[in-house]
Amino acid sequence: MSPAGTPGAFRVTLTATAGFLPYVAAAIASLREHNRSVPVTVFADEASSALTRLADLLDVDVEVVPVGPDDLAGARPADAESIRSRIVKITSMARATTAQHLYLDSDTIVRADIGLMATELGPDVDLYSLLNRPVAPTLWGDRRLYFTDPDIDRAGVLDLVHRTFGVRLPAAALDEMHCWNSGILLGSAPALRRIADRWLRHYRAMLPMAAAGVMIPRDQLGFWLTMWELRHDLRVEEMPVRWNFMAGHLVPVPVGTEHLDERAYRDAAILHLAQNKADPWARHLVSGALERSGAAEVLTQAGISAR
């Protein structure tokens, strides 16, 4: 029985690649501290004995999404795991089946009953997502996250978007497009499948440009374009900040911060570590969740550092 009150009404999914296995284990372990019954599925690019043991320990299902060589053709070795992770992530949403479906990035710590999210936000909206307030990003403002040319101008961005994705943007969209955060998404299965189908096409269209050194293979741009294209077709609302509390965006937390007073994120139901995931204070939270759940021992036995 799901938190929403009917069988199969709410499911959580996460993505696991080898380099992020400690993070995804900590995310699920923290979720399980507050809710033992919600169904959870981990989508992975490959099976492993460590993932199987973690799945048994934390009571989660595992689905493997093989990533084909065409997706990695010409990719820099440093980008390969990131590309695999993003393809698996988007594919997980393309397979959504429940009335409400929650996707969590692996760099999250759950601090409240996840079932409250399903009941609080309700099923009457197609998608809830965060706009990274108090300063919402824009495509033009964040262009250096996606385009390698530091001197690219507006006409160059518009031309690259059109040639890469087949999306012809008006110039005003560079400043007006809603730049949603895709790290935590709550939506209906039909909406997520529709979004993911287009989003995956956009992401794969970007990969040859990334291999050519023109674009950076992040997934957000394809998501933003998808949401812009579907802006008249879907009911989209902003996710309350407490369900996607990105500390580095909401409070001054420079990358590399050693210690962070818990009062800085006391209202967070889901703490999204994001760019601060490698900070000592964040690693302490991850290690604590792994130790309390027994996942740290599983990782250590598999030769994977839990720190």
Q: 250-261 as b/e, with b when 16 or more CB fall inside 10 Å?
A: beebeeebeebe
Can you read off the two tokens belonging to residue 255? 């990358």
Q: 107-146 as b/e, with b when 16 or more CB fall inside 10 Å?
A: bbbbbbbbbebbeebeeebbbbbbbbeeeebbbbebbeeb
Query: Nearest 5°: phi and psi at 193?
Result: -65, -40
Asked if the model's pLDDT at residue 3 lies above 70, the reply is no
Closest among 110, 113, 38 to 271, alpha carbons compared: 110
What letter represents residue 122's amino acid?
G
- Cα separation of 60 and 38, whole Å? 9
* Residue 230: other Cβ atoms inside 10 A: 17
DSSP state of 147: B
Asked if the model's pLDDT at residue 241 lies above 70, the reply is yes
DSSP state of 259: -
Tens digit of pLDDT for each residue in 174-227? 999 999 999 999 999 999 999 999 999 999 999 999 999 999 999 999 999 999
pLDDT classification of 137: cutoffs 50, 70, 90: confident
Tens digit of pLDDT for each residue in 71-102? 999 999 989 999 999 999 999 999 999 889 99
pLDDT cut 70: percent of the chain above it: 95
Mean pLDDT estimate for the chain:
93
Which residue has better confidence, 225 or 5?
Answer: 225
| pLDDT of res. 4 | 35
Contacts of 154 (CB under 8 A, 6+ apart): 140, 171, 174
Strands (E), the chain: 10-16, 40-44, 61-64, 100-104, 108-110, 127-130, 181-187, 236-238, 245-246, 270-272
- Cα separation of 211 and 71, whole Å? 10
Coil vs helix vs strand at 229: helix
| pLDDT of res. 183 | 95
- Cα separation of 57 and 307, whole Å? 19
